[in-house]
Amino acid sequence: MTELAAVSVTALKGVGAALAEKLAKVGLENLQDVLFHLPLRYQDRTRIVPIGALRPGQDAVVEGIVAGADVVMGRRRSLLVRLQDGSGTLSLRFYHFSHAQKEGLKRGTQVRCYGEVRPGSSGLEIYHPEYRALCGSEPIAVEQTLTPIYPTTEGLTQQRLRQLSEQTLARLGPHSLPDWLPRELADAYQLSPLDQAIRYLHRPPPDADLEELAEGRHWAQHRLAFEELLTHQLSLQRLRESVRAQQAPAMPLAKTLPQQYLANLGFAPTGAQQRVGAEIAYDLSQSEPMLRLVQGDVGAGKTVVAAFAALQALEAGYQVALMAPTEILAEQHFINFSKWLAPLGLEVAWLAGKLKGKARASALAQIASGTPMVVGTHALFQDEVRFAKLALVIIDEQHRFGVQQRLALRQKGIGGRMCPHQLIMTATPIPRTLAMSAYADLDTSVLDELPPGRTPVNTLVIADSRRLEVVERVRLACNEGRQAYWVCTLIEESEELTCQAAETTFTDLTAALGGLNVGLIHGRMKPAEKAAVMAQFKQGQLQLLVATTVIEVGVDVPNASLMIIENPERLGLAQLHQLRGRVGRGSAASHCLLLYHAPLSQLGRQRLAIMRETCDGFIIAEKDLELRGPGEMLGTRQTGLLQFKVADLMRDADLLPSVRDAAQTLLEHWPQHASPLLERWLRHGQQYGQV
């Protein structure tokens, strides 16, 4: 029997070139694809409901006799058909209808229809029901299974998708769709045979638990989610193995530079920094590439840990590249590392997308000639950037970069042969669920200790109708020698409008707070202008800084102890947490005021309540994952990562430990099954292991 994966959709009755093109748009190229294109939800058309038993909001099959059909002139002309079955009367309303349709619904016609029941002007109504006139005395059987509703695209009807799945299901069997989870493995995790699960999900029996199916808790969904998550693990294992199989420069533990650096630092590293530093130092001394993720909450001192790692590579005579997602954060790193490395006699080069002409040519020449430390934005990925002896890449805020970009760094290694070690840092704590799945190719270290002297930030939620009180609070704080941030958030995703809003707020606050020095910083300013304003704020020449979310990460002004965030309901939790992390960096009591615009949505209220209740980044990350979903949190919508067909990371989190074990077992005992699984689930644009 031919495997369905090898049979094109054009083998199905009624599928010509035009339809095949439409099907390809939703990823349906062969018959296996058709089977894995699962319904989103189901309709129950297995029984006829008496009109008298109908309830508003219900989807139902109804049968009755037409008692009358009239064209009614309301706000819009419509055809109103009254249907009776002895238990009650129901109206069917059509806004788009033809003369032939009206003629076909004459008084006395027996009709069976399906649709959503709504309250209307003449009692219960169904708008535009699916219907058919019943002729003759032979009763027509109702559906034998629940009716599937499939994900679709323009020009693909539900009817057509049902016909295609019907034809494909007729060819389904254990040989036409091989089960790549060996029986022993499936039994160990109580998983049913694949073909049974697929058949059930396309055509559930009338007694299927609709609630369980809607929530994704059904055994058949569980079986497919397990296989999909397992395949995802396999792809990351492969990626990890392909990186680990490469050679990396082994660098001995550094002695001299770290001691000099510590002497100039002015404070002792925390226990967590020392522990994580030792884990990294060990990895760097090995000849296989390090792939380590360092998670630390806002202000946990990841940069110091990165500096220790850099010094080990620099002392061994290699180059280090540090990459950040935004120019402002990259500039901050450039300033810090220049300050730290200059006393040690080490030069730092700078490369960002905005660098043009001679300045760019000069930076590229510096990097190619072997300047020890290079700091920049993702401009460091560009083809023309050539490193002399790159041995360590430090990536800040990994979730802003796609997996593919991270892998592109391999080609930048020594002679294109040696793979650089990779240290990835994030101040967005990653929930355990995501760490076990999205980052399964990385070793993880957690900085779980804040440096001494940091104070927790007190968060208040205030309606913007009390704006004047808030302005007075800012005046008071600044008059007492403190500094404050006033953050203007995105207006309908438009950077231009947000910058305009920031300029207006700057003008208003300057007028309202006469006598105080107010600064402005936003994304449309030139890097030099931004740097100048930041320097003034840092030195205390400005008391209040009006900013857009460009100050989200990396800005460190210990004397700033008050932050106002306008329209916080527009931001995700992780971003609010990052912004709040700009205050509470000194020893003074710090406050963050979330100035929301009423009325708040249910989701907005939940988000702000979480911010008020906790400063723990890991709790916030878990909640953010619940509220927003994994694709958005990881910033990986565009890379195709985690676009699961069946699995859901939040719902199926409890499966992950078993899935990891099962992936390991499969690779040990049945390695030949890995490729067919990857081909089945990840054929479309998710080849993690290839660059």
| Fold for the domain defined by 51-134 | OB fold (Dihydrolipoamide Acetyltransferase, E2P) (2.40.50)
**36 contact partners, CB below 8 Å, separation of at least 6:** 198, 224, 645, 680, 681
Instruction: Give the three-class secondary structure for 117.
Output: strand
Judged against a pLDDT cut of 70, whether residue 686 lies above it is answered with no
C-beta atoms surrounding 464 within 10 Å: 12
Which pLDDT tens digit goes with each residue over 134-147?
876 667 777 888 88
Q: What average pLDDT does the segment 152-172 reach? A: 89
Give the pLDDT band of residue 541 (cuts 50, 70, 90).
very high
| pLDDT for 141 | 78
Which pLDDT tens digit goes with each residue over 449-504?
777 767 778 999 999 899 999 999 999 999 999 999 999 886 655 667 777 788 88
Tokens representing 228? 């999909």
The structure's pTM equals 0.67
Q: How many residues make up the chain in this entry?
A: 691
Tokens representing 426? 């994030």
| pLDDT for 553 | 55
The single-letter code of the amino acid at 404 is Q
Give the pLDDT band of residue 25 (cuts 50, 70, 90).
confident
| pLDDT for 319 | 94
| pLDDT for 99 | 87
Which pLDDT tens digit goes with each residue over 65-78?
999 888 888 888 88
Which pLDDT tens digit goes with each residue over 42-67?
888 888 999 999 999 888 999 999 99
Phi-psi group of 685: left, alpha or beta (phi > 0 → left; psi -120 to 50 → alpha; rest → beta): left
Which pLDDT tens digit goes with each residue over 185-222?
999 999 999 999 999 999 999 888 888 888 888 999 99
State how far Cα 554 lies from the chain centre.
22
Top-level CATH class of 457-614?
alpha beta
| pLDDT for 27 | 85
Judged against a pLDDT cut of 90, whether residue 286 lies above it is answered with yes
Q: What average pLDDT does the segment 238-244 reach? A: 78
| pLDDT for 190 | 94
Q: What percent of the chain has pLDDT over 90?
A: 40
Q: What average pLDDT does the segment 657-686 reach? A: 86
Two domains, one topology: 51-134 and 457-614: no
Tokens representing 612? 């008020």
Distance between CA atoms of residues 118 and 54, nearest Å: 10
Which pLDDT tens digit goes with each residue over 4-15?
988 999 999 989
| pLDDT for 629 | 60
Q: Go through 396-422 and write b for each residue having 16 or more CB atoms within 10 A of its CB, e for each that does not.
A: bbbbbbbbebbbbbbebbbeeebbbbb
Q: Where exactly are the structural domains of the chain?
A: 4-43+158-197, 51-134, 256-447, 457-614
Q: What average pLDDT does the segment 381-389 reach? A: 86
Q: What is the mean pLDDT of the chain?
A: 85
Lowest mean pLDDT among 106-120, 568-582, 660-674: 568-582
Give the pLDDT band of residue 579 (cuts 50, 70, 90).
confident
Query: Which superfamily is assigned to 256-447 in CATH?
Result: P-loop containing nucleotide triphosphate hydrolases (3.40.50.300)
| pLDDT for 620 | 81
